[in-house]
Amino acid sequence: MKKPKVYVVEGRNDATRLKQVFKDIKVLSVNGSSVDKDVLKLLERIKNEYEIVLVTDPDYPGEKIRKTISNKIGNVSHIFVEQKQARNKNNTKIGIEHMSDEDLINTFKYKIKNNTIKSDITIDTLYKQQLIGHTNSKAKRKHLSDKLNIGHVNGKTLLERLNMIGLSKKELISLMNDTVVGNLEIINDFKVKDIDFKRTIRIWTPSNYSKNIKYPVIYMHDGQNLFDAKTSYAGEWEVDETIENMIFKDKINGFIVVGIDNSELRMEEYKPNWETSDTAISYTYMKFITEGVVPYINERYNTIRSAEETTIMGSSMGGLISFYIGLENPHIFGNIAALSTSFQINSIENRNKYLEKLKLNNFKTYPRLYLDAGSLEHSKNYIEPVYEKLVELGYDENKIITHLEENGAHNEDAWKKRFPNIIKKLYNI
């Protein structure tokens, strides 16, 4: 027979809040930021009759109360609260009393019991899994804590809670092998009416995605390589980890990122035919994105629909097609990021004729255009000539950002490292 539960909270306001949401709930308040001897004696006396569930505030005093009771009483259960959900409207206080009905109900679905089995996870294990000591560790800890419902953690509290629930090193490694952080929806064979083209698209949203917030959108090519090492054929960009880290570090809402997978026809699809662009496969690919993918995303997700908040980005051949699609559609894409762009694929003469045909001096607005290359790659030779031609034809030079990455190579690892700074430059973060 299951024991009845008694929920232990920090203050009287917390207890009142729980009673407002949950009918007939038994709540015990410790009435302060510490636990006195009388409370501990009471819990010791009732622990065989009741399941004791600790629901403390997600801050230092709350964690101190949790540890004190857990160490003294032993066989207790835990419910962990997200800091963001427990903040008041002015963002000045943290407490269960400030949580919404919906957040409380969802949080109370997940209860963790102390496990007497000693875990074999150590600080070294956390480091090897990049949960501490790495630039993306905070995002990875958030991803893991969301999976396990163990609340906000730093490196120290993560180790304590993993040991608390008895998670093994093998189980931890298995959890971490899923490299996607946040939410990823995959649509196979996405089709657009009246366009003979289909492709897998990957729609990523932050872990704290909210229906009450509108997000900028980044459209990227080579979608297999963006979010998950398991689907990548050349290395993962870690777009998801990077943005999650920026959300916490730079205090931003984040982005929606849409990855469009490539195919065996990648070279043809990503290569603009400067002379007869409207008959090339790349033209069909562009229409697939602008007339199919973009409207679909805007209809179903909370997007900021202005061009200024919409980016198209890619590297190598993906940089070339981003350059082409962005200049063809400045009303949709206010930002173009072309990394290590393969401008050498087409002749300089044909590319220049195409740019002249665009009549850049007549553009009402110019997209922010980011062009870069690494010092170790051939594409570095094309940044300056392309920049000069654009300015000659009337492109606003203040809208062009060029960058040469010292010792930068032509691979996913190099682009992954440049990605956060590119986003910061385009969005003034």
Q: What does the pLDDT look like over 314-343, one tens digit per residue?
A: 999 999 999 999 999 999 999 999 999 999
Maximum alpha-carbon separation in the chain = 87
Evaluate whether 1-114 and 183-426 have a shared fold: no
Segments of the chain scoring below 70 in pLDDT: 1, 115-117, 178, 276-279
Amino acid at position 294, single letter:
V
**β-pairing, 310-315 with 217-221?**
parallel
* Helix or strand run (H / E) with residue 217: strand 217-221
Residues 6+ apart with CB under 8 A from 306: 334
Give the pLDDT score at 82: 85
Comparing CA positions, the residue from 119, 122, 146 lying closest to residue 132 is 122
The ranges assigned to domains in the chain are: 1-114, 118-178, 183-426
* Exposure string over 238-268, b if 16+ CB within 10 A, otherwise e: bbbbbbbbbbeeeebebbbbbbbbbeeebee
The CATH number given to 183-426 is 3.40.50.1820
Handedness of CA 50, 99, 105, 67 (dihedral sign): negative
Residues 6+ apart with CB under 8 A from 397: 391
* Distance (Å, whole) CA 256 – CA 337: 16
* Distance (Å, whole) CA 235 – CA 237: 7
Q: Which CATH number fits domain 1-114: 3.40.1280.10, 3.90.1150.10, 2.40.160.20, 3.40.1360.10?
A: 3.40.1360.10
* Distance (Å, whole) CA 124 – CA 142: 19
| CB-CB contact of 281 with 289 (8 Å) | no
Give the pLDDT score at 160: 86
Please give the backbone phi and psi of residue 305, each rounded to the nearest 5 degrees, phi first. Answer: -90, 0
User: Structure pTM?
Assistant: 0.67
CA distances for 149 relative to 5, 44, 142, angstroms: 19, 26, 10
